[in-house]
Structure 1
Amino acid sequence: MAPGLLAQMNARFGPEASGRLLGWQQFVEAQGGVGEGLRLWRVNLFLNRVPFVEDAAHWGLEDYWATPAEFVASRGGDCEDFAIAKLFTLQALELPTARLRLMYVNALTLNQAHMVLLYTPYPGAMPLVLDNLTNTVVPATQRKDLEPVYSFNSSGLWLEPDSATPRQVRDHSGSLLWEDLRRRLQAQGLDI
């Protein structure tokens, strides 16, 4: 972790911020040699310990996508922040970016829009869902409480009539929030 980033996060979120970031870094380093399935579960569980806080209360904005450093350092975020932090943590753990996608869903039991992270272990496989609502990592077919809408990553945007047959409709995310997030990641010196 770059000392400049630690100082920046301490200035924004208080002196405990650097300890939280270093704890996250130590967690990532401790996952070397751990199998793929266990890595997914551990990342989901580790980041799910961060408290859920609505954007308006936490950031003073209607919708804000925090960088993973902001999410961990501030010790709070909403569903997008959890999913984004999991995405970049798994990328740091060398899971292939092409297998990871952020997915907007309708959370049927909550009756609201929600974001999760999908991991597809191999082409044609049913994606696994990492979600801040549960510590389990299960195939999308087992999440009857989630209705897929669309998914995206830096490579494109997919419509999701169902999770097994996504159809790519763009070669970029098309999201201004995603582009803003990427700019802030670069400014923080984080690999995107």
Structure 2
Amino acid sequence: MNTVPITTVHAQSLGDLANAAKGKGTALFNTVEFRSKSFKALPQWARVLKKAKTEIRSFNACVSNAANCKTAQQNSWRKIINSAQNMSRRQKLDTVNKFFNRWPYKLDSEVYGVSEYWASPNQFMRTSGDCEDYSIAKYYALQQLGFKDSEMRIVILKDSIRGIGHAVLAIYEKNDILILDSLSNLILTHKKYRHYLPQYSMNATTRWAHIK
């Protein structure tokens, strides 16, 4: 994995981050990024991490033995993992991206009655969801297909063309960062997305703040 070194800072404002970033390199979506090991600022993600642990155990029991599959969600998980497990790395990305992009887009207010809710993989496959929910489901599926946590990040960003918030899954390859987007089955380099302005990203161990 070829990435730019990341500096850990304890800046309290965007101005502090901007000053700390002077002279640093660029990373995801041509930004400077700063990492933290704390998820206190991301309670939705902390909740998903906790909930997904139990779900993935049940999913994997279903993958191992069809007799353990008790729900439609577990059967869906078994289908995507078994179909992709012997594929090449790029084929796994394409297959997982297309598989979950088939779920219909639904607003959190429509599904959960609140303006913002991050769904676990099981919840997403049961009721569908919005952009971050697609990314979360893909993240966990690829993890089970052999992708390392350090090679993946869920990215919360602003789409400057549509003027709205969005989320994607970033995959760190040896010489590039590939983007799995719920808006397209095409998987492109992050360099192609000049209208995506990341605000923060995270995996199971770390979160990053991003500034231009």
Task: Give the equivalent residue in structure 1 for 2:155.
Answer: 103
Structure 1 residue 55 displacement after superposition: 0.1
Unpaired segments ≥5 residues, structure 1: 7-16, 163-192
* Alpha-carbon distance in structure 2 between the residues aligned to 1:136 and 1:23: 22
Task: Give the equivalent residue in structure 2 for 1:130.
Answer: 180
Task: Give the equivalent residue in structure 2 for 1:86.
Answer: 138
- 1:145-160 equivalent positions in 2, closer than 5 A: 145-160=195-210
Q: Residue 121 of structure 1 is aligned with which of 154, 173, 191?
A: 173
* Alpha-carbon distance in structure 2 between the residues aligned to 1:126 and 1:158: 18
Alignment deviations for residues 60-102 of structure 1 (CA, whole Å, 9 cap, x no partner): 111111110110122x100110010010010011111111011
Q: Aligned residues: percent identity?
A: 27
Describe the SS at the equivalent of 1:95. coil
Say if 2:200 is the partner of 1:142.
Answer: no
Higher relative contact order (CA 8 A, sep 6+): 2
Given that residues 18 and 73 in structure 1 are in contact (C-alpha distance below 8 angstroms), is that contact kept between their aligned partners in structure 2?
A: no
Q: Residue 62 of structure 1 is aligned with which of 88, 92, 115?
A: 115
* Alpha-carbon distance in structure 1 between the residues aligned to 2:126 and 2:110: 16
Q: Residue 37 of structure 1 is aligned with which of 90, 93, 99?
A: 90
Task: Give the equivalent residue in structure 1 for 2:15.
Answer: none
Q: Across the two proteins, how many residue pairs are aligned to each other?
A: 148
* Alpha-carbon distance in structure 1 between the residues aligned to 2:170 and 2:83: 23
Alignment deviations for residues 15-68 of structure 1 (CA, whole Å, 9 cap, x no partner): xx9234302321211112201111111111100000000000111111111110
Alpha-carbon spacing, 1:32–1:57, altered in 2? closer, same or farther (3 Å): same
Which letter maps to 1:127? I
Which letter maps to 2:103? V
Say if 2:58 is the partner of 1:2.
Answer: yes
Task: Tell me the TM-score normalised to structure 1 length.
Answer: 0.71
Which letter maps to 1:133? L
* Alpha-carbon distance in structure 2 between the residues aligned to 1:145 and 1:42: 25
* Alpha-carbon distance in structure 1 between the residues aligned to 2:141 and 2:114: 25
Unpaired segments ≥5 residues, structure 2: 1-56, 63-69
Say if 2:28 is the partner of 1:28.
Answer: no
Which letter maps to 2:131? C
Task: Tell me the TM-score normalised to structure 2 length.
Answer: 0.64
Root mean square deviation, CA, Å: 2.1
Which letter maps to 1:157? R
Alpha-carbon spacing, 1:60–1:43, altered in 2? closer, same or farther (3 Å): same
